[in-house]
Chain A
Amino acid sequence: MAQEPERLKTVIAAGGKNLQYWKDLWRYRGLAWHMARRDFTVRYKQTAIGLAWSLVNPFINMLLLSFVFGSLAGFGEHTDIPYYICVYAGILPWTLFARSFTVAAGTFQSGAELMKKVYFPRLTAPLSSMLSSIAETLISYLMLFLLMGVLRYTPPARILLSFPLMLPVALLGTFLGLFVASFSIRYRDIVHMVPFLMQMGQYLSPVAFTLEDMRGKLGESSLLFHILYYANPVSGFLTTFKWLILRDQSFRLDWRALAIGFVWLAGSAVLGILRFRKAERTFVDIV
């Protein structure tokens, strides 16, 4: 048999090989695509307004945050940009982050049925969910443009850069979620904590306010500001996102915050993937 076709060699051994895993992940990219499409399609089946939910949800959220931070707390009075747009520019990346985080953290719960029966590199699942989250965010952009039209606001050209910035935001959420997911196998408690955590995060991250606002309110050297600035993984990306969308002379790109965001991204990538890889090997035995 000279023309023996080249056969895929698979070695399954205790401990497992990493290189093969990444090859598999690439081989299963089609599955990631299908799963993302499934997530996306299924979410709006049998709903009256379908995709419009991707517009309505952030819109209502925006109204709520504008009321709390704008009307009650008095943020956003020092700028001539409509406050609604300021808030929406924060909600866009925040929602992407929160959704990526939530689905990644719940990977082992939502995918358990499937994972108990067939093999695929388990990272395929959170990565595909991330893709569908990005798609959803793209739809949410429509609401941003709609708001801009209604409120007669012209964004700067650099807004285009906010599209590629979605990727690190989604990745950061996913990696942090993976880290959490690895613990959720043994401690389901974490599953209950995630929505709560995300709700808190929405108020403690620069979504409805900017880091500049807080620098002014809390003072540059205060502990709270340092926590907000360094210890909140999303702060840097959220601030940058807002800078890309908002035309404001007083508001400059905070390179340091962005760099800190990427440090968080790199750290969470390493920790998240390592933990997740360790957990996925035998999670079927525990669930």
Chain B
Amino acid sequence: MDQQVVIRMEDLGKRYRIPVGLAGQGVDVLTDTSRNAFDAGLRKLRQSVEGRKKQDFWALKNVSLNIRRGESVGIIGKNGAGKSTMLKLLSRITEPTRGRIELSGRLASMLEVGTGFNGELTGRENVYLNGAILGMGKAEVSRKMDAILEFSEIGKFIDTPVKRYSSGMFVRLGFAVAAHLEPDIMIVDEVLAVGDARFQKKCLEQMAHVVRSGRTILFVSHQMPTIRELCSRVICLKEGRVVFDGETDAGIRCYQMEGGALENDIDLSGKARLGHISGALRMSRLELLDTRDCVYEPEAPIVFRVTMACLLDLQNPTMMLEVEGSRGTVGLSFSEVFAGEMKAGESYQLTMAFQGHRLAPGGYGVSVSVGRGNAFEGISTFDNVLSAFSFEVLSRKQGELRENWKAHWGSVHLPPPEALNFQRL
């Protein structure tokens, strides 16, 4: 049976307006002396009345997602990718600029453990207050008080003002309240990064229990092991858009590749060169063609174009490529003589393609160098950029073997050996 959709996001977008020219203002403040502070105040007043120039910034854009009951979904992405914005919209802290979200069931977010704790109140008073903030009734909290107390290991300090708590106690109590709230949808943001190892383990177990009990959980974390352990689905965000939505391992790989900045138009001129290069030629730009996010379906050709400036007359240069897996394990090398003659002072563009490459799903980095000669006769290198570009091979097709590819299966997906003969002896 199709599971009920508990979170439905449609064309969700959140726009922030950021004032431009803030840097200039900073200078204003620095140069203000007390003599013209009044003028500055007037200027500020005028600015605030007239309104400063604003620039639009979409923290989240065109996001449409369905999350079903019982799913545990990891939301990952680099800082600024839009994760927090998504959570803020879900937990109704701020309103979307566009689109809508439909939630079914009670949602509780643990954007920060111990939110709303008041230092002057005792642990017990705070539990009631916190429960109320999270939407629990008094009777409900009373019913769960014992479980909360036991889980938090606060013991006799429960009637002490929480300002006298250690930070560990504070966090434990906060987590205990939230973990026992039993909402239909739970949003957890990095809370598992707190407390000692034993308590973290306990929290993880509690989370796993919540997942097993059929509730829906959204995790935001930078800790991939936690995501791997708890999530059955991963949504990877980049610059406010969903760049990946699917199986956990593939999503994590997608995220890890993000670290290498998956750009499809790379300026090579500023990149570091390694080893001895003659400088007879210099690569300036590398573009990955026919892709926006550098993610390719398996066996889809990876086409790229290198722009280079020739400084000395050259004959029969060779393009050398080294492909590395994201874990730095597998190396594949290729070299290809690509041209006849190159004249000094001219610029050239070379387009190449990996056809039928059989790379397994995963992230890859490619080092590019141009030189002359080959591995047998010795190579003289003109120019060489390590990890010049990165790409990802990823199957988005449901039910394909390669959609569920595990990293330890290797980096090359070869056709399986054929059974030639099978007979009873």
Contact = CB atoms under 8 A, between A and B. Distances in A.
Interface stretch (A7-15, A153-161, A227-235): A7-15
B97 A14 contact: yes
Contact of A115 (B48, B93, B138): B93
Contact of B98 (A14, A186, A187): A14
A249 interface: no
Given A30-B137, A34-B132, A38-B125, A118 B93 contact: yes
Interface string B94-121: 1111111111111101011001101011
Interface residues of A, number: 35
Interface stretch (A171-179, A210-218, A240-248, A278-286): A278-286
Given A30-B137, A42-B120, A42-B121, A8 B100 contact: no
A114 interface: yes
A9 B133 contact: no
Given A41-B121, A42-B121, A119 B93 contact: yes
A128 B333 CA distance: 69
B133 A120 contact: yes
A35 interface: yes
Contacts of B92: 10, 12, 119
Contact of B103 (A12, A115, A117, A118): A12
A216 to B, nearest CB: 43
A116 B93 contact: yes
A149 interface: no
A23 interface: no
B100 A38 contact: no
Q: Which of B102, B106, B129, B132 has the most CB of A within 10 A?
A: B132
A16 B94 CA distance: 11
Q: Which of A12, A38, A116, A282 has the most CB of B within 10 A?
A: A12
B132 A30 contact: yes
A120 B92 CA distance: 8
A55 interface: no
Contacts of B128: 34
B16 interface: yes
Interface string A6-41: 011111111110000000000110110111001001
Given A14-B99, A34-B132, A42-B121, A186 B48 contact: yes
A12 B129 contact: no
Contacts of B96: 12-14
B134 interface: yes
Contacts of B102: 9-12
Nearest to A31: B132
B107 A10 contact: yes
Given A7-B184, A41-B125, A282-B94, A12 B89 contact: yes
B88 interface: yes
A14 B94 contact: no
Interface string B126-142: 00110011110110000
Contacts of A115: 93
Nearest to A4: B4
Q: Which of A7, A10, A187, A282 has the most CB of B within 10 A?
A: A10
Contacts of B120: 41-42, 45-46
A35 B101 CA distance: 29
B94 A284 contact: yes
A284 B88 contact: yes
Interface in B64-113: 88-107, 109, 111-112
A35 B116 CA distance: 10
A15 B94 CA distance: 11
18 contacts: A9-B103, A10-B92, A10-B102, A10-B103, A10-B107, A12-B89, A12-B96, A14-B97, A14-B99, A16-B95, A31-B132, A35-B129, A35-B132, A41-B125, A118-B115, A119-B91, A281-B94, A284-B94
Interface of A: 7-16, 27-28, 30-31, 33-35, 38, 41-42, 45-46, 114-120, 186-187, 281-282, 284-285
Given A14-B99, A38-B129, 11 more contacts: A9-B104, A10-B92, A10-B101, A11-B100, A14-B100, A34-B133, A41-B120, A117-B93, A117-B115, A282-B94, A284-B93
User: What 7 A-B pairs are tightest by C-beta distance, nearest first?
Assistant: A13-B100, A119-B92, A10-B103, A12-B101, A31-B132, A34-B132, A117-B115
